[in-house]
Amino acid sequence: MAHHHHAHGHDEHRHEQGRHDHEHLDWAEMAPLLESQAELFTPLYEHALAWLAKEVTEPGLIVDAGSGPGVISGLFAETFPGARIVAVDGSEPLLERALARAERLGAGDRFATLTGDMPGVLAELDYPADLLWASRSIHHLGDQGAALAACVERLAPGGTLAVMEGGLPSRFLPRDIGFGRPGLKARIDAVEEDRFTRMREELPGSVAQVEDWPALLTAAGLHHTRSRTFLLDLPAPVPDRARAYVVESLTRTRDMLGEHLDPDDRAALDRLVDPDDPASVHHRPDVFVLAAHTVHAGVRPV
């Protein structure tokens, strides 16, 4: 059985491009890529965790639900040096990487993993969480409201649930790239939105819901709901690993969505990912990474 929430927290371009095909991916094979992408986004995650740390003081237990290879789990271990961390995911190979990362960080003694499908697997936690974090994993569950309620049940009184959902589509290039019709990425985004809608509609037990996350958190029984958006801003000229992310992301877009684009846009995308084309993202000096992710948090009443 495919696990709908595997690692979704940390595969940025699985969110930009590949939301629909995640059941067919080999997570162990993708692990190095997931890890390098999450590391690229570390400044954004660090800002988000610092924001949470202002209100979540000295949590005893932090649960990273949909942890993937554990990059954010490791950041939690660093941000909250007194906390125990449990990384939860459907993929055993990714959790093995998460544990190895925690050990490299010197946090292996306060780090555990739990394998299984969200949200049911949370019932296996030994203790309620003081902070439960779900990074872009809830939207892979058919009934998002029920999933949030299940998360809230596993919170200690006064505990915080934080979900990273929404934000803005990433941008990598100027609006006019010098060939094709300007605004290519906006048209790709429109195709991706349709694909994401279909993915949601085809999930087991899918429930259509207004994606007002603070309202959903309130309906799940939380109060003191708040939202904040965090930016990853890597201006041109980008370091090699950021360029590699853009290459990988746009190549995946071409493979996943190319058939849904008009011929001119598909031709422009082909040029952008062709390593032999000097105007491709392999070589262009104007490649950048600009991404915005939103975190919504709420507190379980004492």
CA-CA-CA-CA torsion sign (215, 219, 224, 229): negative
228-282 confidence digits (pLDDT tens)? 999 999 999 999 999 999 999 999 899 999 899 999 999 999 999 999 999 999 9
The pLDDT score that the predictor gives to residue 220 is 97
* Cβ-contact 155, 224 below 8 angstroms: no
As a whole number of angstroms, the distance between CA 208 and CA 77 comes to 36
Predicted TM-score (pTM) of this structure: 0.89
115-173 confidence digits (pLDDT tens)? 999 889 999 999 999 999 999 999 999 999 999 999 999 999 999 999 999 999 999 99
Per 3-state DSSP, the chain is made up of helix, strand and coil in percentages (nearest 5) of 45, 20, 30
| 302, HSE (Cβ side, Cα atoms, 13 Å) | 1
Sheet architecture: strand order including 111-115: 111-115, 84-89, 61-65, 129-135, 155-171, 289-299, 223-234
Q: Please work out, in degrees rounded to the nearest 5, the angle formed at the alpha carbon of residue 89 by the alpha carbons of 22 and 251.
A: 30
> Which domains are present in the chain?
8-299 (3.40.50.150)
Whether residue 210 is predicted with pLDDT greater than 60 in this model: the reply is: yes
* Cβ-contact 291, 41 below 8 angstroms: yes
Which two structure tokens, joined as six digits, stand for 137?
A: 């994993």
